[in-house]
Amino acid sequence: MQIVTISGSIRTTSLNRALLIELGRIIPAPHQVHMLEIADLPHYSEDHEAPAPAAVTAFRTAIQNADALVIATPEYNHGYPGTLKNALDWASRPYGRGALSGKHVAVIGGGGGTGGIRAQVQLRQVLNGCGCHVLPRPELAVRFHEAFKDGVLVDPKVSEMLGRIGDALIAQASRG
Ligand SMILES: Cc1cc2nc3c(=O)[nH]c(=O)nc-3n(C[C@H](O)[C@H](O)[C@H](O)COP(=O)(O)O)c2cc1C
Summarised one tens digit per residue, pLDDT across range 21-37 is: 999 999 999 999 999 99
pLDDT confidence band for 176 (50 / 70 / 90): confident
Residue type, 56: V
User: Candidates 38, 77, 150: which one to mutate for ligand 1, based on the most atoms within 8 Å of Cβ?
Assistant: 77
- Gap between the Cα atoms of 143 and 171, Å rounded: 27
CB distance 14 to ligand 1 below 6 Å: yes
Is residue 72 within 8 Å of 111, Cβ to Cβ? no
What CATH number has the domain spanning 2-175?
3.40.50.360
Whether the Cβ atoms of residue 59 and residue 36 lie closer than 8 Å to each other: yes
116-134 residue pLDDT tens:
999 999 999 999 999 999 9
Mean of the pLDDT values across residues 160-166? 98
Residue 93 Cα to ligand 1 middle (Å): 28
**What residue ranges do the domains of the chain occupy?**
2-175
| Mean pLDDT, all residues of the chain | 97
Quote the Cα angle for 35-41-42, to 5°.
170
Instruction: Kindly state if the Cβ of 9 falls inside 6 Å of ligand 1.
Output: yes
